[in-house]
């Protein structure tokens, strides 16, 4: 068992606080426990909505029974691909520019909310997937899974995996933006990368739930000191300028 070293822990905490001040230019409003963060998490619409579909999928999968061993590849593949999927959605959809198609302006709610999220990363409700989007997105997953997967057990396994990952994404994203102080080395890396995306340069560090996995692969994981601070990091596409 490792012997507690209060002096080292105090030094690590001081360095962590200094790192956040350097990245965000501000002190935390408060330091909360993981339990308090978890309780606050459930006060927002997104987590209960996703959990309802997750529980429903788990119950349905248990009741249907059967299945094949290859179904285990479904969650394994999704977990492996999730950093890349997450990054593609972040770049193509959330950071997508508004488009004009004749008289119609194409500017999805997710993109508009994400611009607001960049404008004020401390506004906690903006951290979550908009509930109005979830009203159609969560049932859409059911329809797509049932229409594209060859067996009902496999389709339900896919749905359990999707809803589980989505809930994990919401929790991680919320925790990064909350006043919880990161303790583990892995979460500290996730926290640091996402803070750099919001306060340093919006063109890099797109992954949220992993420590830059897909960013390293696709060349958006630079050394922070070599990247200039973006003047539009709080105004995506400079839409609010002038």
pLDDT at 237: 76
pLDDT at 10: 60
What's the mean pLDDT in 152-175? 97
Q: How far is CA 186 from the centre of its chain?
A: 15
Q: What Cα–Cα distance (Å) separates residue 78 from each residue in 66, 74, 94, 115?
A: 21, 6, 20, 27
Residue 15 CA to residue 29 CA, distance in Å, equals 17
Residue 241 reports pLDDT greater than 50: no
- Specify whether the CB–CB gap between 127 and 119 falls below 8 A: no
Q: What is the pTM of this model?
A: 0.85
User: Domain limits of the chain?
Assistant: 44-184
What's the mean pLDDT in 55-62? 97
202: DSSP letter: T
Residue 102 CA to residue 105 CA, distance in Å, equals 8
Greatest pairwise CA separation for the chain in angstroms: 68
Query: Which of the two residues, 57 and 8, has the higher pLDDT score?
Result: 57
> Quick check: helix, strand or coil at residue 164?
helix
**What is the per-residue DSSP string for 58-125?**
HHHHHHH----GGGGHHHHHHHHHHHHHHHHHIIIIITPPPEEETTEEE--HHHHHHHHHHH-TT-GG
- Specify whether the CB–CB gap between 116 and 127 falls below 8 A: no
- Specify whether the CB–CB gap between 170 and 129 falls below 8 A: yes
Q: What is the pLDDT of residues 90-108, one digit of tens each?
A: 999 999 999 988 889 999 9
* Residue 49, CA atoms < 13 Å, CB-side half-sphere: 17
* Residue 41, CA atoms < 13 Å, CB-side half-sphere: 25
Residue 56 CA to residue 21 CA, distance in Å, equals 43
């Amino acid at each position: 068992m490792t012997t507690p070293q209060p002096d080292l822990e105090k030094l690590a905490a001081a360095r962590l606080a200094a790192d956040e001040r350097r990245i965000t230019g501000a002190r935390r409003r408060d330091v909360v426990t993981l339990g308090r963060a978890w309780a606050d998490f459930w006060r927002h619409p997104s987590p209960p909505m996703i959990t309802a579909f997750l529980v429903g999928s788990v119950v349905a999968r248990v009741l249907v029974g059967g299945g094949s061993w290859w179904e285990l590849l479904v969650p394994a593949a999704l977990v492996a691909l999730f950093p890349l999927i997450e990054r593609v959605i972040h770049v193509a959809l959330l950071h997508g520019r508004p488009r004009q198609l004749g008289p119609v302006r194409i500017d999805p709610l997710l993109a508009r909310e994400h611009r607001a999220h960049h404008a004020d990363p401390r506004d906690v409700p903006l951290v979550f997937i908009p509930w109005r989007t979830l009203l159609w997105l969560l049932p859409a997953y059911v329809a797509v899974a049932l229409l594209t997967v060859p067996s009902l057990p496999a389709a339900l396994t896919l749905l359990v995996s999707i809803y589980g990952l989505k809930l994990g994404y919401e929790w991680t994203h919320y925790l990064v933006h909350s006043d919880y102080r990161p303790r583990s080395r892995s979460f500290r890396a996730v926290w640091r990368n996402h803070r750099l995306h919001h306060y340093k340069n919006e063109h890099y560090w797109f992954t949220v739930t992993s420590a830059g996995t897909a960013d390293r692969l696709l060349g958006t994981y630079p050394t922070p000191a070599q990247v200039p601070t973006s003047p539009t990091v709080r105004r995506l596409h400079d839409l609010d300028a002038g």
